[in-house]
Amino acid sequence: MPLHYIVLIICLLLLVFLCRKEWMRPNRKRLAARLLASLLAVLSLAYLILPIGKERQVTPAKTVFQSIDTPTGITAIYWPRQISAGSALQVQGLFNNKGNHPVKLLLSGFNERLDSVTIPAQQQQSFIFNTRPKQAGRALYSLIAVAKDTIEKETIPLEVVPLKPLKVLLLAAAPDFEHKFLAGWLSQNGYMVAARTAISKNKYSYTYLDTTRFPLEQLTPALLNAFDVLVADAGALAALNARELAAIRTQVADKGLGLLVKTDSGAVRNFYNQPFPLTATADKSERPVTLQLAGTTAMLRMEAPVYITSTPGTQALVTDAQQHILAGSSLYGSGKLVNTTLHTTYSWLLAGNRESYQNLWSLLLQKAARTKPHTAQWFIGTALPRVRMPVTLRLETSMPQPTATINGARLSLAQDAVLPFQWQGVYWPMQAGWQAAVAASGDTCHWYAFDERAWQPIAVGEQQHRGSITAAGADASTLPEIYIVILLLLALTFLWVEEKMV
Amino acid sequence: MADVRYLHRFHVLRQRWQMYTLLSRALAALTMAVVFTTLVYMMHGAWWWAIPITIICLTALLLPAYSWKVTEADVIRYFNITYPEMEESSGLLLKPYEQLTFLEQLQAQKIAQALDAIPTPRPLKKHLRICMLAFILVLTVSAGIGWWVNVETKRAVKESGTPQKTAVVKENILPEISGVTISIQPPAYTRKAKRQQQQFNLEAEEGAQLLWEIRTNQPVAALQLVLNDTAWIALQATDKTHTQWTGRAAATRAGFYQVQLDSKLSDLYKIAIIKDQNPVINIVTPKAYTIIDYGMPTRISLKVSVTDDYGISNAHIQATVASGSGEAVKFKEQPIAFAESFSGAGTQYTLEKTLDLAALGMQPGSELYFYIQAQDNHRQLARSGMYMVVLPDTAQLMNIEGMANSMNLKPEYFRSQRQIIIETEQLIRDRDTLAEKTFQRRSNDLGIDQRLLRLRYGKFLGEETENNIGDDRLEEEHGHDHAVSNDAKDFNNAEKIMDQFSHKHDIAEDATFFDPATKSQLKATITEMWNAERELRTYQPQAALPYEYKALRLLKDLQQKSRAYVAKTSVRTPPLKPEKRLTGELDKIIFPLRQQQATSAVTDKMAYALAILETLKSGSHLPDAVSQQVLQQAARQLATETATARYLPALQAMRQILAALEQQQNAPPAAVAIAEQALYNLLPLPAHLPQAGNATANISLSQQYFMNLQKK
């Protein structure tokens, strides 16, 4: 505010000075015109300096039809707004380069350049950036397009949510390295692991990592209910009595427990390996096999591999180069079954190949794990929410009458006519930045509202698709600055020319 | 009217004088500029200052009030002073003659004559000359200084190995401190002289003695050095006014330190430690595993290069000879010295030594293991990898179990490699007693035997059977007829027609009995047989022997390989009886139990610190107490990482942020950026871990769908 006053005072003084000069001139011709021109000049100068009329209440931006070619810049973009810790961030998009110079696209965060790509001149090209975010919580990454100077600078908001460790129960028919290393790896990362390993007839060894002791002699429904995944080898499952097996079966089918079975060709057929018929190879020799899992490849030495035959309803998780399936998953009731024939993955850990081990077991356990119940889930209806534009927010909850607030302001929700658990509301973000959406339960969902000028090429493209374009900031209520500049120039020109004419 | 002639003369003189003044002024300005530029260059090492300095000097000397301007009055004054014959009346000549009084006219005529006699003077010529001389002198001297400074810097760079960046680094020091001198005495093993520096950031050899001499511009009660936030060194005042302080420490750990003046702390200064490197040993020859075959010289020429950063004080070969076989293996260890003497000053040696295996007591069947050990000035030992030289026992090769039968049961044309060797040796022994013709024939026959053997093994590789040149004992196997009877039934048989024109057997690619490794070894064997045959057929059985032995050794290796393979496949375990398994008494066996709690890593906290720094960037609100604690932990973590000096600015930035937050102020954005970048670089890549999917709980509609699907 003090700036306003200073500018106003200076302008007033200037006006008084100019008027006095004009008044004191002996030649009194066109005095009124000169005074008017001085007044206009000072007024327009003040208007240009002060942000008059630029702070406005929320008013909808006007849409005007305007036909423009696809502009230079990022014309499409996608990245997940929220990832869990340890996952990779992948930013995919399309860049339209109409200029005569190649454009370099840079993904940076925390003052570090994370990834870059160069788009040749006069081309439209897609790009993919990969990085593994290291922070926990919210952060703003940036995407910059540079040719000779910066063409576009955009914000990539990203929230990294901390992991919720799984609870894993291990059953083994004999002590082996595979189980030992799996339990060790999980407990190192803060996962709760309980293991029961048969060491002789009716003799078991018990392991409790990151948990207190509890009886594991009998697998009861209450016990199974406390775990997210049950990892067992086929031998251990075959050795279970009928009551235990039935308990596991109901847990998987009705309660969604994940069952990960390390199967082999000699296993008895039962519900847990029914969808996974096996074929053994004739070649028993040991050889390196290239495994393809979740977009990555890893080399593992295997002796006499056993393959899972593909059947309708199963999904291949791990295959070799010839598309033989080595791990697959299938639905069973509300739970999931995962079968794998890999038995020597611990050799990766021994060889120092932690990355492949983590990739494989993350994939298998994640596929099997019981889904975590949420009382409420938010979905943001607009891909790139902007300030001063309506954003549709959808809430999925089982609460009968949910109330929600955004940035402390209450959001009115309307129930969906067909899906009774869906609620919908519209919010107008006022300020660019993180917005906090809170359903009544108390956990906050953060989403980001962009500046009006952010992702301009995408906005132009979108509007053009609908046959109209948003002229951001060009409201009828405010005069464009160019008119003021022209007025100032006219007034000054008049004052100058008038003096010469005398 | 004044005489135009005199007017002109005065005018010319005035102009010349003015030009001289201008020139000498400009020269003086240039001289000054050269002097200043040289001074600046000596201090900062930059030449580009020359341009602004020259402009300033020229403006300063030439601009003020046109001091170089010479008026006519000056000229007249000059004449009056310089020439007595002008009688102080030169001014009269410039005035119009008519305006002069009579007396003045008389005087003017008088001095006009005198003026004619005076040659045109050259005022200030001497001055100009002096200026010129001064300029040339100064230019020469400064060029000399510039050259010397340049040479000196290059020499310093060469001596220290790294460019002297020390002069460029700007340090923030406490205002009370007027100067510092740090003496670094490198340890004896480096053979480096003591050196001094005038700045706080220091780089010293491991174990060097550091002596700080700090001067303050006002008396100070106490002065301390804080090392790595953990150790304090109290400095002692050496004068009564308490303005000179000294303190000592040994450079043992890299990190940082601060000067604590009363309770005021300075910036962080780095201590970098140059560690002594272990000697590096590189064995050029021989190879890591050398076999000396029969007939090759039993000498090994050893070529080693040994390097160290400060000096090598000793190096020798440690050799072990293993002889005998089975349980009777004997080891004899002996150090062997190199011929070179080590003074401890040389940093690089190329050592050569010829090891005579016989002199080391090696017999056929013995093995020599050796490594090189080197010691540097700092008594640091380094040793090379173990190298091995083997003298194969030819007697062992010939000896085959089950060969008690001395009779040759095989058909004669399938002489084995061993038989060929025996006969070659016999031939060599009999050479003196045999006629030349007989000797040559027998040698040739042996060559033919060797050839047959080669062809026999060549079949395994799918080689074509050759026509047996020079030997009629081998039956022609390949002469079968390609022309087949014409049968009307086969009229349309494409296979048959193709057979007629194709040559289908013995295709190398089809001979897939062996894996590639076996094949390559077989090929090597056959090459040796070729060589042996060549020597035998040129009647040089002595030269053929090494090849024969080598071929035999390779063949034996091949046999050993196939044996290992066969043994593995033929294992048969008796069938298990499941009803008898695990029937022992187990009641004494307890249930083993393992229980443990894992601790979470520190890096988790650092990951949160990153996100907190990110919120500080927006500057909207200050973080809460918990966040500040996380930031403090991150700062502590950074402090432990400063050994590399890379994170020193980040630690400083982090402390700046924490200080600002404590005073409820917004953190400086530049500091946040630096701290953020360092933390990001410090954090390891997060592990990829399994994570359960999300689902909204208790949605009755979905549950009903599920129940109905289950019913079916």
**Cβ contacts of A57 within 8 Å, gap of 6 or more:** none
The residue count of chain A comes to: 502
CA angle B202, B206, B210 (to 5 degrees): 50
**Rounded-to-integer distance, Cα A5 and Cα A11, Å:** 10
Contact A136 B610 (CB under 8 A): yes
Q: What gap in Å lies between CA A371 and CA A366, rounded to an integer? A: 9
Which residues have a Cβ under 8 Å from the Cβ of B161 and sit 6 or more positions away? none
CB contact under 8 A, A136 and B611: yes
Question: Residue A377 and residue B582: Cβ atoms within 8 Å?
Answer: no
Phi and psi dihedrals of A395, rounded to 5? -120, 130
Which residues of B fall within a CB distance of 8 Å from A188?
598
Question: Which residues on chain B are in Cβ contact (under 8 Å) with A228?
Answer: 692
Instruction: Return the pLDDT at B3.
Output: 65
Q: Which residue of B612, B683, B692 is in closest CB contact with A371?
A: B692
**Residue pairs between chains A and B whose CB atoms are closer than 8 Å:** 178
With tokens 């008895």, the residue in question is A268
Partnered with residue B686 across adjacent β-strands are: none
Are the C-beta atoms of residues B622 and B664 closer than 8 Å to each other? yes
Residues of B in contact with A139 (CB under 8 A): 610-611, 614
Q: How far apart are CA B424 and CA B543, in angstroms?
A: 10
Residue to mutate among B688, B700, B704, B711, with most A CBs inside 10 A, is B688
Q: Which residues of chain A lie closer than 8 angstroms to B620, CB-CB?
A: 433
Q: B382, B305, B368: which is closest to B336 by C-alpha?
A: B368
Across the interface, whether the CB atoms of B690 and A200 are under 8 A apart is answered no
Per-residue pLDDT at B64: 65
Chain A residues inside the 8 Å CB shell of B617:
140
Mean pLDDT across A34-38: 91
| Predicted local confidence at residue B409, as pLDDT | 42
pLDDT at B511: 52
Concatenate the DSSP letters of all residues of B455-508 into one string: HHHHHHTTPPPPP-TT-SSS---S---------GGGGG-HHHHHHHH---S--G
Mean pLDDT is lowest, of A104-113, A185-194, B7-16, for B7-16
- Half-sphere exposure of residue B230, counting CA atoms within 13 Å on the CB side? 8
Interface touch A188/B595, C-beta < 8 Å: no
Give helix A354-368 / helix A177-188 axis angle, nearest 10°: 90
Q: How far is B679 from chain A (nearest CA, A)?
A: 9
Q: Smallest Cβ distance to B696: which of A84, A374, A420? A: A374
Count other Cβ atoms within 10 Å, centred on residue A35.
Answer: 15
Structure-token match 């690619």, residue found: B509
CA–CA min distance A364, chain B (Å) = 8
Element (H, E) at B454: helix B436-460
**pLDDT value of residue B164:** 40
Residue A477 confidence (pLDDT): 53
The pLDDT value given to residue B406: 44
Query: What is the secondary structure of A332-394 as a DSSP string?
Result: ETTEEEEEE----THHHHHTT-HHHHHHHHHHHHHHHSPPEEESEEEEES-SS-BTTS-EEEE
Contact assignment for B598 to A190 by CB distance below 8 Å:
yes
Residue B210 exposure: Cα atoms within 13 Å on the Cβ side: 28
Radius of gyration of chain B (CA): 50
Beta strands at B280-285 and B209-216: parallel, antiparallel or unpaired: unpaired
Question: Distances from the Cα of B189 to the Cαs of A317, B193, B316, in angstroms?
Answer: 61, 11, 20
Spatial separation of the C-alpha atoms in residues A398 and A421, rounded to whole Å: 6
Distance from CA of B509 to the nearest CA of A (A): 22
- Rounded Cα distance between B682 and A110, Å, is 12
pLDDT at A80: 92
What is the distance, to the nearest Å, from the Cα of residue A201 to the centroid of all Cα atoms in its chain? 51
**Closest alpha carbon within chain A to B695:** A373
Q: State the angle between helix axes of B436-460 and B541-569 in degrees (0 to 180), rounded to the nearest 10.
A: 30
Chosen for mutation from B696, B699, B706 (greatest number of chain A CBs closer than 10 Å) is B696
CA nearest to B708 within chain A: A333
Place of tokens 């008389």: B106
Beta strands in B280-366, from DSSP E residues, in sequence order: 280-285, 289-291, 299-307, 312-323, 330-337, 348-356
Residue A194 in this model has a pLDDT that exceeds 90:
yes
Chain B residues with CB under 8 Å of A85 CB are 607, 686, 689
Residue closest to B383 by CA, chosen among B433, B451, B467, B317? B317
The answer to whether A373 contacts B688, with C-beta atoms less than 8 Å apart, is no
Nearest by Cα to A307 from A262, A363, A356, A265: A265
Task: Provide the shortest C-alpha distance from residue B648 to chain A (in Å).
Answer: 17
For residue B128, give Cα distances in angstroms to A282, B7, B24, B78, B135.
107, 25, 5, 17, 10
DSSP 8-state class, residue B328:
G
Contacts of B614 in chain A (CB under 8 A): 110, 135, 137-140
Query: Among A111, A160, A375, whose Cβ lies nearest the Cβ of B697?
Result: A375
Residue with tokens 């000359």: B129
Chain A nearest-CA distance from B565, in A, is: 12
Residue B295 structure tokens: 């007939």
Averaged pLDDT, A44-58: 69
For residue A374, give Cα distances in angstroms to A389, A420, B544.
29, 17, 85
SS3 state of residue A89: strand
Q: Out of A110, A190, A203, name the one closest to residue B586 (CB).
A: A203
For residue A453, give the amino acid letter. R
CB contact under 8 A, B690 and A361: yes
CA distance A295 to A310: 19
Count of residues making up chain B:
712
State the pLDDT at residue A482: 81
Closest by Cα among B268, B265, B272, B233 to B638: B268
Contact A366 B676 (CB under 8 A): no
Beta carbons of B692 and A135 less than 8 Å apart? no
Which pair of tokens denotes residue B191? 């053979």
Angstrom distance (rounded) from CA B622 to CA B616: 7
Cα B666 to Cα B616: distance, rounded to the nearest angstrom:
8
Instruction: Round to whole Å and give the CA distance between B109 and A353.
Output: 115
CB contact under 8 A, A136 and B598: no
Cβ(B431)–Cβ(B443) below 8 Å: no
Strands B244-250 and A422-427: unpaired
Candidates B279, B236, B233, B266; CA nearest to B252 is B233
Cβ proximity of B314 and B415 under 8 Å: no
Closest Cα in chain B, distance from residue A411 (Å): 20
Across the 712 residues of chain B, what is the mean pLDDT of every consecutive 10-residue run? 69 82 85 84 74 83 69 79 77 76 81 75 75 90 84 65 47 83 88 86 88 87 84 84 86 84 83 87 88 83 90 89 80 87 83 88 86 88 89 72 43 68 90 90 90 83 57 45 57 71 56 71 90 92 91 83 53 78 78 78 74 79 81 84 73 86 83 88 85 75 81 68
What CA–CA distance (Å, rounded) separates B366 from B626?
Answer: 72
Contact B691 A164 (CB under 8 A): yes
Q: Which helix (H) or strand (E) holds B226?
A: strand B223-227
Contacts of B588 in chain A (CB under 8 A): none
CA A223 from chain centre, in angstroms, equals: 35
Chain A partners of B583 at a C-beta cutoff of 8 Å? Answer: 201
Residue of A164, A359, A397 lying closest to B696 (CB–CB)? A397
What's the ipTM? Answer: 0.73
CB-nearest to A134 from B610, B615, B673 is B610
* SS3 state of residue A437: strand
pLDDT (mean) for A6-29: 89
pLDDT, chain A, mean: 86
pLDDT-derived band at A479 (thresholds 50, 70, 90) equals low
Q: Is the pLDDT of residue A473 over 50?
A: no
Q: For residues B59 and A307, which has the higher predicted lDDT (pLDDT)?
A: A307
pLDDT cut 70: percent of chain A above it? 92
